[in-house]
Amino acid sequence: MASRRPTSDSESRQEHTIQDVIQTAVDSISYGALYALMALSLALLFSVMGLMNFAYGELIMVGGYTMFILRDDSWVLLLVITIVVVTVISVLMERIAFRPLRDASPNTLLVASFAVSYGLQQLAYMTVGPIPKGVSPYPWLVESLDILGISVSRLSIITFVVTIALLIAVTAGLNRTMLGIQLRASTEDFDMARLVGVRANRVIVAAFAITGVLAGVVALCYVSRSGSVSPTLGQGPLLVAFVGGVIGGLGSLTGATIGGFLLGAAVTALQATLPTDLSSYTTLFAFSAVIAILVLRPSGLFARRAVREA
Amino acid sequence: MNLLTLTDVWVRYGRVPAVQGLSMHVDEGQLVGLVGNNGAGKTTTLSTVTGVLRPSAGTIEFEGKEIAGQAPDRILRHGLSLVPENRRIFARLSVRENLQIGTSGRKDRAKAKEDIEEMLGRFPVLERYHDQPGANLSGGEQQQLAIARALLARPRLLLLDEPTLGLAPLIVDQVFDLLEQLKSEGVTILLVEQNAARTVSIADRVYIMRTGGRIEFEGTGDELAARGGLETAYIGF
């Protein structure tokens, strides 16, 4: 008997480890995909109109507060209204803040995006206040799902499935529809696109609407996981997505998406695996790697030759 | 009938006037050549007509309607389509997508689809590489793509900016053959070219432009020959 106890202990520990590894892997992939959606959004706006939209994080914050307000309503309503509200705010952002600056330099646009970002944060401070509001996810979401004897959180699986489905849908839309072709042409040479008859307002509003829908979905997944919303909620994920996009190359939609995925997955994995006393240095580790990559490949991992030569 | 009429057009880059009081016109069904030295203001003129630049004074009328200062996508919808300098095809889009986007200004989607197939039939090279990215085409092939893309807008007036620049002599011949073919089909063309002699040989009328967008000569090839030909016109500044 005495000889069997340690064996079963180590077996159970091993099971526990496998369990952890798989949960961490699923988490990393699903949150990597979430950051990929954000990086894709940033890259789309950046390449269509030269706008690095730092106010994109505030769309997630707006989504979070919408969820907070609707926390007692049915989940269908919460899903639909959150996505609609975030999309409308995104389109309004274009109409009010960025359209008057359409021909301005990227620097002016960048400063404007900071202004919108801080403006929305301050609005949140003044109206709902600085204290984080709890948005407890539906109990069903946090339950674990048993897949082949391994339990994985349902939220991770849903995040993964939804983000991958959206990435596929956006890719298909960009490749198969006339609007998608116009958007891709605009990311390459906006002035030429206008010369062949692409309506500037139409593609730019479409870009803000598409990235708004994506921000709505990111808000739903992200806030369900974090469980609370505060005025600065969007800053963290925006930074990771932005830097991930830069690693991949913001001029290339595919590159930025992959960059966002890799950095998002790495950050999530580091948070889960680093020892407790080191886990606050997650960003330090991640961004050190980023600096190393940018020293070696300044225009991003996936920059096209033509872009680099230009 | 005058299709395009520029009257006393001035264009400035900041305070530098690039085009000073330019007046010219293109008649329906004609091929009009605009030649002149580097920096004369030819590209500036086309950029202003297509809405990329805004004239500081003067009028630009297309079919009698004032179009100066309108956005490029709106001007295209009036029926002016540009084959720009350096072709500017969309390198990451496939050849077919480059053609599809050429129909952006049209409402007749079904007919536009047919026209794309017809255009692929007309340019066998484009048919062969239809699913390849535009970047994979050679310079001459890209020029064909740029012309096909512009034609798919079904323009009333086709504007070409240096379509033979940087192309091999054999390909230059092909481009001029194509232009003559389009002319015989009744397409109205405004051709900006460095290759003055070739342009004079196919154009109904030519303008010779000198620095500042000033017109040195205006008339037919015969009238130019009567005045001593191109050399006199170029040297006689």
Q: What is the CATH number of the domain that holds B173?
A: 3.40.50.300
CB contacts of A178 in chain B (<8 Å) are 100, 104
Q: Which residues of A297-307 are buried (b: 16+ CB within 10 A; e: fewer)?
A: eebbbbbbeeb
For residue B173, give its domain range: 2-87+154-235
ipTM of the complex: 0.93
| Assigned token pair, B144 | 């064909």
pLDDT digits (tens, 9 = 90+) for B58-76: 999 999 999 999 999 999 9
What percentage of residues in chain B have a pLDDT greater than 70?
97
Question: How near does any CA of chain B get to the CA of A185, in Å?
Answer: 6
Does residue B21 fall inside a structural domain?
yes
CB contacts of B90 in chain A (<8 Å) are 184-185, 188-189, 192-193
pLDDT score at A306: 39
Among candidates B88, B91, B105 on the partner chain, residue whose Cβ is nearest the Cβ of A197: B105
Does residue B118 fall inside a structural domain?
no
Does residue B50 fall inside a structural domain?
yes
Q: Does A275 touch chain B (CB under 8 A)?
A: no
pLDDT score at A127: 94
CB contacts of A173 in chain B (<8 Å) are none
Q: How many domains does chain B have?
A: 1
pLDDT score at B236: 47
CB contacts of A181 in chain B (<8 Å) are 93, 97, 100-101
Q: Which of B89, B85, B73, B78 is nearest to B149 (CA)?
A: B89
* CA B9 – CA B56 distance, rounded (Å): 8
Does residue B66 fall inside a structural domain?
yes
pLDDT score at B195: 87
The DSSP code sequence of chain A is -TTHHHHHHHHHHHHHHHHHHHHHHHHHHHHHHHHHHHHHHHHHHHHHHS---TTHHHHHHHHHHHHHHTTTS-HHHHHHHHHHHHHHHHHHHIIIIIGGGTTS-HHHHHHHHHHHHHHHHHHHHHHT-SSPEE-PPPHHHHSEEEETTEEEEHHHHHHHHHHHHHHHHHHHHHHHSHHHHHHHHHHH-HHHHHHTT--HHHHHHHHHHHHHHHHHHHHHHHHHHH-EE-TTTTHHHHHHHHHHHHHH-TT-HHHHHHHHHHHHHHHHHHHHHS-TTTGGGHHHHHHHHHHHHHHH-TT-TT--HHHHH-
Does residue B132 fall inside a structural domain?
no
Question: How near does any CA of chain A get to the CA of B125, in Å?
Answer: 22
pLDDT score at A13: 59
Does residue B202 fall inside a structural domain?
yes
Question: How near does any CA of chain B get to the CA of A305, in Å?
Answer: 11
User: Cβ–Cβ of A184/B92 closer than 8 Å?
Assistant: yes
Q: Does A307 touch chain B (CB under 8 A)?
A: no
Question: How near does any CA of chain B get to the CA of A52, in Å?
Answer: 22
Does residue B101 fall inside a structural domain?
no
Among candidates A181, A199, A306 on the partner chain, residue whose Cβ is nearest the Cβ of B101: A181
Among candidates A178, A184, A195 on the partner chain, residue whose Cβ is nearest the Cβ of B93: A184
Q: Which of B191, B193, B138 is nearest to B168 (CA)?
A: B138
**CA B225 from centre of chain:** 24
Q: Does B73 touch chain A (CB under 8 A)?
A: yes
DSSP state of B231: H
Q: Does B36 touch chain A (CB under 8 A)?
A: no
User: Cβ–Cβ of A198/B153 closer than 8 Å?
Assistant: no
- The residues of chain B scoring below 70 in pLDDT are 233-237
Does residue B57 fall inside a structural domain?
yes
Among candidates B76, B93, B106 on the partner chain, residue whose Cβ is nearest the Cβ of A195: B76
Digit-by-digit pLDDT tens for chain A (310 residues) are 444 444 555 555 566 677 788 888 888 998 899 999 999 999 999 988 889 999 999 999 999 999 999 988 888 999 999 999 999 999 999 999 999 998 888 899 999 999 999 999 999 999 999 999 998 877 777 778 777 777 788 888 889 899 889 989 998 999 999 999 999 999 889 999 999 999 988 999 999 999 999 999 999 999 998 899 999 999 989 999 999 998 888 888 889 999 999 999 998 888 888 887 877 788 788 788 788 888 888 777 776 543 433 3
Q: Is A53 buried (19+), middle (13-18) or exposed (0-12) by CB count in 10 A?
A: buried
User: Cβ–Cβ of A188/B104 closer than 8 Å?
Assistant: no
pLDDT digits (tens, 9 = 90+) for B196-211: 899 999 999 999 999 8
* CA A237 – CA A163 distance, rounded (Å): 15
User: Cβ–Cβ of A181/B150 closer than 8 Å?
Assistant: no
User: Cβ–Cβ of A199/B73 closer than 8 Å?
Assistant: yes
User: Cβ–Cβ of A200/B76 closer than 8 Å?
Assistant: no
Specify which residues B16 forms β-bridges with.
B13
Question: How near does any CA of chain A get to the CA of B2, in Å?
Answer: 23
pLDDT score at A304: 53
